[in-house]
Structure 1
Amino acid sequence: MTENGHVGHRESARGKEPQVQLEVRVGSAEELQSLQGWLRSDPDLRRSATVGAQGGAPRPGEMGTPLDVLQLVTENGWSAASFVLALAAWRQTRPRRPRVEIRRGDTVIVLDGGSSDETERVIRALDTAPDENEDR
């Protein structure tokens, strides 16, 4: 992450690594912070992804910007399955499982249940979703 909170690009000895970029939205800033902490504490994700929170423009009367989206920038070793399983585990710790919206390029995937079928569907969707920068 850079000083201003934006996720930067990682450089390797071979140059820029191919990356997957995801945006994750949940219902509230508190839930987003909880999810950010959960994902940052996951050993598999910590090795393969940078997790950063960003906020939108402040509403009238608010100071600062509320957090409204997590950004994940990943490297070669990233696994959609590891990410989705960590996300599902976090949702199970919540009093009410929050609806989660995941965006990869132009693909938006919503996780609002908790079945293994839904988890598998999200993993497949993330594995096959094209990145918006893939053609460039």
Structure 2
Amino acid sequence: MECRITVGTPDGDGGDPAGLFRWLAQDPDVRSTAQLALMPAQERVGDMGGAFEIINAVVANSLALSGVAIAAASWRETRAPRPTVRIQCAGVVVEVDDDSPETIARITHALSEAARAGARTEPGQDGGAAPDTAPGAPGRRADARPGQR
């Protein structure tokens, strides 16, 4: 399963995706279960270019995805102000709001279900949407915040 991870801050800054990438790459569980790459984001008008803003993570299963979500949530908790971490897999986008077990379980469930649905449905057929492939492309949103669905 291929996922994209982006980082942002309340003031619209790009956050620190390189910092999150280093954190994930140094986590022994993530390093052993995920392939990571730092990718350039889609350039916007006025950008100087060359900025790496998207982390591409390839994981084999929901357990590996859970490890990535836990590590991303832990990294987020070490930053002030807390950046927004978004994980997008199979067209579903979730926000990592905290590192509680409930939040990690909701994130893993939402993304795993989307990946399973994507594997069962051909792109463009009724009953399932094709995964978005362009950086920053809008996708279905699964809110993983505590107390919301």
1:126 aligns with 2:111: yes
2:135 matched residue in structure 1: none
**When the two structures are aligned, how many residues end up with a matched partner?**
116
Q: Give the TM-score normalised by structure 1.
A: 0.70
2:78 matched residue in structure 1: 93
Taking a change above 3 Å as real, the CA distance of residues 78 and 105 of structure 1, as seen in their structure-2 partners, is same
1:48 aligns with 2:29: no
After TM superposition, give the deviation of residue 36 of structure 1 in Å. Answer: 0.2
Pairing of 1:1-136 with structure 2 (within 5 A): 20-27=1-8, 28-29=13-14, 31-55=16-40, 56-57=42-43, 59-60=45-46, 62=48, 64-75=49-60, 79-130=64-115, 134=119, 135=121
Q: Residues of 2 paired with 1:53 and 1:65: CA distance?
A: 12
- Give the aligned residue type for 1:51: L
Taking a change above 3 Å as real, the CA distance of residues 60 and 103 of structure 1, as seen in their structure-2 partners, is same
Q: Residues of 1 paired with 2:99 and 2:60: CA distance?
A: 27
- Give the aligned residue type for 1:57: E
After TM superposition, give the deviation of residue 38 of structure 1 in Å. Answer: 0.3
Q: Residues of 2 paired with 1:117 and 1:23: CA distance?
A: 22
Q: What per-residue deviation string (whole Å, max 9, x for no partner) do you get for residues 38-76 of structure 1?
A: 0000111111211111112264361x3222211001236
Taking a change above 3 Å as real, the CA distance of residues 113 and 75 of structure 1, as seen in their structure-2 partners, is closer
Q: Residues of 2 paired with 1:54 and 1:128: CA distance?
A: 25
Percent of aligned pairs with the same amino acid: 26
Return 5+ residue gaps in structure 2 as ranges: 123-149
